[in-house]
């Protein structure tokens, strides 16, 4: 395994990424979500906290050309479960859980983003903190071919993690034209440090030209109390 920061520094364009895991001291569940961008529209964003949720907003409203795929709630909380995604499927999952449904069934109603030729995958995760443990789910919905003819839906479920370990899922393997989608299982990476050190190292490891915003949450496994950090390139 590599450090999360090393995995990021070796890839100029992982796109949007979700990390779920456990802190180095074993006391907290860890969530990290970042966005990157190559276009003016994608780069014109900031993360804003709204209670225990997270929203994306345009940094400069005059430059916003198409909000459909870039303005959404990446993070929402329902009871002991935190939902994190790279699109409006956050709301799909939230509504399904609220109605007694489940993560996978909710995502079977969705597909990859209609932004050909890239057909950006939808990546999603949940963290449930219960009884001093954390339970993780991850999913990726991606195009099965270069034409966007059909959707591949993949789901991964993990019962807790060892201390200092995380599961990393991102939209793209690397930069390209078109951009190649992530392939394989979520990557296992090492998580080091408390929330401030981890946030700083993660932000510094993202490509300087392409990074846009970073969100980090540490959830105390005993109390459920959450600490958040937000870093925006546009300030």
DSSP E strand stretches across 40-184: 45-50, 53-58, 75-78, 81-85, 122-130, 133-143, 151-159, 165-170
Among residues 199, 19, 15, which one has the least CA distance to residue 125?
19
In the numeric block, which tokens belong to residue 100? 């007694």
pTM of the model: 0.97
CA distance 84 to 76: 7
CA distance 118 to 57: 23
Going residue by residue through the chain, which has 235 residues, state the pLDDT in tens, using 9 for 90 and above.
Answer: 899 999 999 999 999 999 999 999 999 999 999 999 999 999 999 999 999 999 999 999 999 999 999 999 999 999 999 999 999 999 999 999 999 999 999 999 999 999 999 999 999 999 999 999 999 999 999 999 999 999 999 999 999 999 999 999 999 999 999 999 999 999 999 999 999 999 999 999 999 999 999 999 999 999 999 999 999 999 9
Three-state DSSP class for residue 146: coil
Residue bearing tokens 């780069």: 43
Taking the CA atoms of residue 89, residue 108, residue 131 and residue 29 in that order, the dihedral angle to the nearest 10 degrees is -50
In the numeric block, which tokens belong to residue 141? 């919905």
CA distance 170 to 29: 19
> Residue 131: CB partners within 8 Å, gap ≥ 6?
none
């Amino acid at each position: 395994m590599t450090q999360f920061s090393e995995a990021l520094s070796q890839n100029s364009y992982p796109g949007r990424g979700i990390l779920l895991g456990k802190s180095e001291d074993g006391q907290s569940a860890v969530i990290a979500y970042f966005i990157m961008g190559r276009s003016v529209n994608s780069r014109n964003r900031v993360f804003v906290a709204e209670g225990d949720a997270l929203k994306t907003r345009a940094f400069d409203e005059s430059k916003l050309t198409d909000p459909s795929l870039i303005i959404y709630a990446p993070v929402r909380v329902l009871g002991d479960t935190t939902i994190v995604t790279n699109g409006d499927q956050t709301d799909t999952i939230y509504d399904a859980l609220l109605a007694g449904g489940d993560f996978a069934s909710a995502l079977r109603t969705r597909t990859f983003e209609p932004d050909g030729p890239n057909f950006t995958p939808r990546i999603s995760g949940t963290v449930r903190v219960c009884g001093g443990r954390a339970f993780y789910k991850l999913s990726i919905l991606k195009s099965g071919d270069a034409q966007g003819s059909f959707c591949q839906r993949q789901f991964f479920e993990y019962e807790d993690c060892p201390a200092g370990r995380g599961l990393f899922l991102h939209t793209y393997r690397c930069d390209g034209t078109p951009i190649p989608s992530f392939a394989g299982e979520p990557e296992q990476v090492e998580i080091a440090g408390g929330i401030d050190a981890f946030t700083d190292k993660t932000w510094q490891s993202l490509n300087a030209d392409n990074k846009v915003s970073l969100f980090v949450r540490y959830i105390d496994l005993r109390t459920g109390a959450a600490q958040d950090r937000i870093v925006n390139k546009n300030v």
